[in-house]
């Protein structure tokens, strides 16, 4: 067998398979080249998902005749001036994109070097390059790619529908647009109306520009329901916005991650995100984030993968730790607040009622199956709660306030005296607390809110060395089916850390101790719930995660029930505890614990505005 060197074109086609796997990848390489060239305006258009046509025009530094002649040769780059792979400040550096795209398509590059006399155009078809010809172009570079992958029919077969390819292209553009808020972008798909991300020309404050760009790309409601992340250390910084846990999404598509200005989809960072949100999110739901991580280029390797979507940090633990801590900080600052996008929903349901005044003289919001455990809705009042003594007085009627009181409240003292969640005025349906602040009305789901508080207290106790237990005066014998019994016995050690001391007792279980915070909750119901949780959780899940999920289940039993009357003091004490508890804007299942309606909205309801 004779050895031979593969022809250049074939080498480039093989490389194209790695770097350019779909039209969106070509778009990414070309837009990154424009950004590397210092462009302030980048216009992208494409047809049929970018397969039949893709065009990128920029006003960057351009290329001279001589540069253009070699730009499509493999491993030709202007971006590694001192051969230092540890010090990379540009997107490109491998010199692979242009030759790869040129090898599998019909491509033309038209360019004029900044300050240069004339423009030149170069054609490449399936890897064969023609000599540059004079062209006309006022500035920058225009690259047109037609019939991508025509030279590699096998690849062509793997493309998805034009619609799916266009979505992927748009996703890439959105990510780059977020990374470069000072650059203007436009994007046109087939004959649709172009999308424009305008940068204000004279805007110097990058923070302001970034916020405007995030609003443009991710929508206003994202930022309005997000916490701000800002953590700066000596060698590393994490900045951006992360959605409140109640504003969760079905997919990870709205997770925009950047390392040193480069969009990435990095496993370590995804893992850190999951860790940071942990039990604040319902299963299978995802936060939306725009997160910018900056580390010294020497501490991160971007050359792990040809598309550079993954990176490798020298100190992964440190990076993960800072991401988790900074997101938690942002959420604990913001997350006693629930998303404001719920208020319009609530408002709508109020609005619905007057349309049929006879049938529905009572506002017709459906009491949600109450926060958390669902089946407890309207169950018998439990004696277990951690508020003040039970007080079965009827709920206080809405207070009528005197003029004098109202005057006293003006000037802000009202809010500061009562706190962010206002003063409780009434309880309705023995399920919801109504409270008011100076400019709004709040409806709080008492069970969901309290459940969160109990759970957070348990977590704090865990962190301090273990859940405080209380010995039952008379150990309780509980009968459960075989499967539940055995899963509880198997887990008895980690259950002890969660505050439950259980042992086998003939064909039953003997419960000796329960978490002190649960008071005299229904022991059998707790065991059933915990067993279900354990059966539900994968065997493999870490002990720590198991303990937390058990605590979340138990918290439900230690919480004031829907259906229990509360007096005003109890209600206010619950509100104050919510204000002190991080994450109290949602219950342990990610559902909101309260909704807030502004006075202005209320006035609108009654046409007072
Ligand atoms: P890399 O970006 O890794 O250097 P490419 O194959 O993408 O490799 O590009 C090769 C070279 O062509 C770049 O280093 C740059 O000098 C030049 N180039 C590519 N696109 C542009 C552009 N839009 N404006 C100016 N120069 C460009
Ligand atoms: Mg490049």
Is the pLDDT higher at 323 or at 7? Answer: 323
Q: What is the pTM of this model?
A: 0.64
Helical spans, DSSP H, in 385-445: 403-409, 413-418
Give the residue-averaged pLDDT of 165-173.
94
92 close to ligand 1 (CB < 6 Angstrom) = yes
Taking the centre of ligand 1 as the mean of its atom positions, its distance from the CA of residue 210, in whole angstroms, is: 26
Q: Which token pair is 493?
A: 């050690």
Q: What is the dihedral of CA 87, 92, 95, 96, to 10 degrees?
A: 130
C-alpha of residue 153 to centroid of ligand 2, in Å: 24
Exposure of 110 in the CB half-sphere (CA atoms within 13 A): 16
Per-residue DSSP letters for 136-159? Answer: --SSEEEEEEESTTTT-HHHHHT-
Confidence of residue 101 (pLDDT cuts 50, 70, 90): very high
Asked whether 102 lines ligand 1 (CB < 6 A), one says no
Alpha-carbon span 574 to 568, nearest angstrom: 10
pLDDT of residue 69 exceeding 80, the answer is yes
Pocket of ligand 1 contains residue 93 by CB under 6 Å:
yes
DSSP states of 435-481: EE-SSEEEEEEHHHHHHHHHHHHHHHHHHTTS--EEEEEEEEEE---
Contacts of 396 (CB under 8 A, 6+ apart): 425, 426, 427, 567, 568
Q: Tokens 């599998």 map to which residue? A: 104
Inform me whether the pLDDT recorded for 374 exceeds 60.
no
Q: Is the pLDDT of residue 74 over 50?
A: yes
Stretch 311-322: mean pLDDT: 89
Could you identify the atom of ligand 1 that is nearest to the CA of residue 141?
23
Q: How far is the CA of 25 from the centre of ligand 2 (A)?
A: 11
| CA 93 to ligand 1: nearest atom | 3
Give which of 243, 223, 320, 335 is closest to 275, Cα–Cα. Answer: 320
Ligand 1 centroid from CA 147, angstroms:
21
Q: How many CA atoms lie within 13 A of 376 on its CB side?
A: 28
Ligand 1, atom 25, residue with closest C-alpha: 62
Identify the pLDDT of residue 292. 94
Greater confidence (122 vs 155) lies with: 122
Share of the chain above pLDDT 70, in %: 79
Token pair 């770097």 in the structure block, residue: 19
Pairing state of beta strands 133-135 and 119-125? antiparallel
CA distance 211 to 186: 18
Q: Given pLDDT bands bounded at 50, 70 and 90, which one contains residue 93?
A: low
Ligand 1 atom 27 nearest Cα: 33
Indicate if the pLDDT at residue 330 is higher than 50. Answer: yes
* Residue 485 in tokens: 């019994």
Q: Could you identify the residue written with the tokens 């100076």?
A: 438
277 lines ligand 1 (CB under 6 A): no
Between CA 334 and CA 328 the distance in angstroms is 10
Q: How far is the CA of 184 from the centre of ligand 1 (A)?
A: 20
């Amino acid at each position: 067998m004779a050895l031979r060197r593969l022809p250049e074109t074939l080498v480039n086609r093989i490389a194209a398979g790695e770097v350019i796997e779909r039209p969106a990848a070509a778009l990414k390489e070309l837009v990154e080249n424009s950004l590397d060239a210092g462009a302030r305006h980048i216009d992208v258009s494409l047809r049929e998902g970018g397969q039949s046509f893709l065009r990128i025009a920029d006003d960057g530094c351009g290329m001279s005749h001589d540069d253009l002649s070699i730009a499509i040769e493999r491993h030709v780059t202007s971006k590694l001036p001192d051969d230092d792979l540890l010090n990379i400040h540009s997107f490109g550096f491998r010199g692979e994109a242009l030759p790869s795209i040129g090898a599998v398509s019909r491509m033309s590059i038209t360019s004029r070097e900044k300050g240069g006399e004339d423009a030149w155009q170069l054609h490449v078809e399936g890897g064969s390059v023609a000599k540059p010809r004079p062209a006309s172009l006022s500035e920058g570079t225009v690259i047109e790619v037609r019939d991508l992958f025509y030279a590699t029919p096998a690849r062509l077969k793997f493309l998805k529908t034009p619609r799916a390819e266009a979505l992927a292209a748009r996703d890439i553009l959105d990510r780059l647009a977020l990374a470069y808020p000072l650059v203007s972008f436009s994007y046109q798909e087939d004959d649709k109306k172009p999308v424009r991300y305008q940068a204000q020309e004279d805007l110097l404050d990058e923070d302001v520009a970034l916020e405007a760009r995030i609003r443009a790309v991710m929508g206003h409601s994202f930022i309005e329901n997000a916490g701000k992340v800002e953590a700066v250390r000596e060698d590393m910084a994490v900045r951006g916005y992360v959605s409140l846990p109640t504003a969760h999404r079905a997919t990870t598509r709205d997770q925009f991650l950047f390392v040193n200005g480069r969009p990435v989809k990095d496993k370590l960072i995804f893992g850190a995100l999951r860790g940071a949100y942990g039990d604040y999110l319902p299963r299978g739901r995802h936060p939306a984030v725009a997160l910018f991580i900056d580390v010294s280029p020497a501490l991160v390797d971007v050359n792990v993968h040809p598309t550079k979507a993954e990176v490798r940090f020298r100190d992964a633990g440190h990076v993960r730790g800072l991401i988790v801590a900074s997101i938690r900080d942002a959420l604990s600052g913001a997350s006693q607040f629930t998303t404001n996008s719920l208020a319009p929903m609530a408002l709508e349901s109020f609005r619905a009622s007057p349309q049929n005044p006879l049938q529905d003289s009572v506002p017709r919001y459906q009491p949600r199956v109450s926060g958390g455990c669902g089946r407890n809705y309207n169950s018998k009042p439990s004696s277990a709660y951690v508020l003040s003594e039970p007080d079965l007085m009827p709920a206080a009627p809405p207070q009528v306030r005197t003029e004098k009181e109202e005057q006293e409240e003006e000037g802000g003292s009202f809010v500061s005296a009562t706190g962010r969640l206002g003063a409780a005025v009434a309880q309705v349906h023995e399920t919801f607390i109504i409270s008011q602040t100076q400019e709004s009305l709040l409806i709080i789901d008492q069970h969901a809110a309290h459940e969160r508080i109990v759970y957070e207290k348990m977590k704090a106790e865990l962190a301090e060395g273990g859940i405080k237990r209380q010995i039952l005066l008379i150990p309780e014998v509980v009968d459960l089916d075989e499967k539940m019994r055995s899963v509880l016995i198997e887990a008895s050690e980690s259950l002890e850390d969660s505050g439950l001391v259980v042992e086998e007792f003939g064909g039953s279980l003997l419960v000796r101790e329960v978490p002190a915070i649960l008071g005299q909750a229904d022991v059998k119901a707790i065991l059933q719930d915990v067993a279900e949780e354990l059966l539900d959780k994968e065997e493999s899940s870490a002990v720590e995660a198991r303990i937390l999920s058990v605590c979340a289940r138990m918290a439900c039993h230690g919480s004031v029930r829907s259906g229990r009357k509360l007096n005003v003091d109890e209600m206010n004490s619950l509100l104050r505890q919510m204000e002190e508890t991080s994450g109290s804007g949602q219950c342990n299942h990610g559902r909101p614990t309260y909704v807030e309606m502004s006075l202005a909205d209320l006035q609108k309801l009654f046409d007072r505005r």
